[in-house]
Structure 1
């Protein structure tokens, strides 16, 4: 069923018919977020999922490129990369599962493993911690976090290493990206996909599929478009 959802979105939200996001049958969109870095995300929930599960569909100028589901602890459940289509899931029984409740108390350490349907596997360790600072973005009050994580392959080779700041909304139980650094082959790259607009049902721009901030033909992809941002965090 999840592949059907991904294919539905990939085929139904291209630039030719872009404009208004339509969640799959049995699902309801509740928030649209326009972010820096030329990305817009539509967040939705589905009645068939566990209570607290949330989906996010990410769009750039070319259309949808990523789809993910988290649970009520912001623990990753599954995700789909759409070009090419690859499904990635959280392995059962993580050594230290992500816990939003622990983060709200100050700090959450995590240790889990991931599997892709193409056979690739990886191991992720790291932490999220509150900094004690709050920010208001588009009228929404967010708490700032700091984070660091390392992703390795089964042989222990580092695939990704990142650190920086993000934002959370305690009541929404959601993460949003902030200014970060991403290590690619020993070189650090800055990335900032911070939210700019929060758009709720009935407001102009709700369910948009075209990003509006920092877009342009010369804009290039950065290494920040990677694992943890794609999963719980905003790319």
Structure 2
């Protein structure tokens, strides 16, 4: 949690020489990619000294600031997540029934998962679902990604469904991670659609790298 505290302290935008606000990460962390997303958000992907081999971290910001902090392992399991808006943290259980496996997805084209996250704020949540490669490749801003479909349902400790979601995402074999796409989420209140597709991939030294300001889809009224 010291990492998280440091990150939240640094979450306020610094300012580049150009005058544009940029996002700062704790010392010992190396950001390799900034992604501008079409739903008025921007994400930064990085690794940190002292983390286990294969672990990666990410943050996501909207117009108001930091919204999400996450850590995955080499199999893209959700090791730790902090949801800023709701103020709750989740950590992966020690022995999942069916761990998520990026390598199995690449090898077999399909990966089933069944795991729980534990949270001091909201309790236990069980996630059951499947990721599948569609066989289709997509190039976005010069970066080639593999398309996936996903189907996931979240349950409370009593086995009651909290929400379910279906749609498409993307994976990068080079960076060993998922990127968001499009889909629907169904709760007791109904079904909503969302598109979080990447628009721009920005690398160190390029304009907009580490920007704290989302560029795409902002200010659009949603009925």
Give TM-score scaled by structure 1 length.
0.87
Deviation of 1:83 after TM superposition, in Å, equals 3.1
Match of 1:225 in 2: none
Query: Which deviates more from structure 2 when the two are superposed, residues 75-84 or residues 194-203?
Result: 75-84
Runs of 4+ in 1 over 6 A off after TM superposition: none
Q: 1:148 aligns with which of 151, 164, 170?
A: 151
State the shift of 1:197 in Å.
0.3
Residue aligning to 2:5: 4
Q: Which residue does the alignment assign to 2:193?
A: 190
SS at match of 1:189: strand
Gaps of 5+ in 2: none
Q: Which residue of 2 aligns with 1:13?
A: 13
Q: How does 1:142-221 map to 2 (within 5 A)?
A: 142-185=145-188, 187-216=190-219, 218=221
Secondary structure of 1:188 counterpart: strand
Distance change in 2, residues 1:144/1:171 (3 Å): same
What pairs with 1:25-36 in structure 2 (closer than 5 Å)? 25-36=27-38
Match of 2:90 among 72, 88, 91: 88
Q: 1:14 to 1:119 in 2, by over 3 A?
A: farther
Residue 193 of structure 1, CA deviation: 0.2
Deviation at 1:64, TM superposition (A): 0.8
Q: 1:214 to 1:37 in 2, by over 3 A?
A: same
Provide the C-alpha distance between the structure 1 equivalents of 2:67 and 2:125, rounded to a whole number of angstroms: 21
Q: Is the 8 A contact 1:6 1:80 kept in 2?
A: no
Cα RMSD after superposing both structures: 1.9
**Residue segments in structure 1 that go unaligned for 5+ positions in a row:** 221-235
Question: Is 2:7–2:25's contact at 8 Å kept on the other side of the alignment?
Answer: no
Contact 2:14–2:21 under 8 Å retained in 1: no
The Cα offsets for residues 180-214 of structure 1, whole Å up to 9 and x where unpaired, read as: 11112162211110000000001110001100000
Residue pair 1:14, 1:63 contacting (<8 A) in 2 also? no
> In structure 1, which of residues 123, 128, 132 is the aligned counterpart of residue 131 of structure 2?
128
May I ask how many residue pairs the two structures share in their alignment? 218
